[in-house]
Amino acid sequence: MKTEELAERVLEERRSMAARQPGVAYYMMNLNHPAVGALYQLWLNEQGPHGMAPSDRARTCFELELMAPAARRLLEQHFETVDRVKNMGNRG
């Protein structure tokens, strides 16, 4: 699954969870952590000049890019399972 597509899926799920459970963590990583914050600044610099904060989608893409391949595969498998369950419900 492409990073952008996976980011959209993550955001869709997070928005849904936040609507049902106010206060649920929206992002996967804490930018206030020194190591993550430093990587985020490097990533922002690679994105070129900007005057505004990145979109939620761009931020989620950054987080996905930091994930270990095995963790990312687990996340992809999660959404494949979600899709299978939805499709099973649509058959009835």
57 is in which domain, residue-wise? 3-91
Q: What's the confidence (pLDDT) of residue 23? A: 82
Task: Identify which of 57, 80, 53, 55 has the alpha carbon closest to the alpha carbon of residue 11.
Answer: 57
Q: What's the confidence (pLDDT) of residue 92? A: 59
Q: What's the confidence (pLDDT) of residue 86? A: 87
| pTM score | 0.83
Q: What's the confidence (pLDDT) of residue 60? A: 95
Query: Amino acid identity of 23?
Result: G
Please tell me the total count of domains within the chain: 1
CB proximity list for 51: less than 8 A, separation 6 or greater? none
Evaluate whether 43 touches 62 at the Cβ level (below 8 Å): yes
Q: What's the confidence (pLDDT) of residue 90? A: 76
The H or E element that residue 91 is part of is: helix 69-91
* Helices and strands (H and E) in the chain: how many: 4, 0
Q: Which ranges of the chain have pLDDT less than 50? A: none
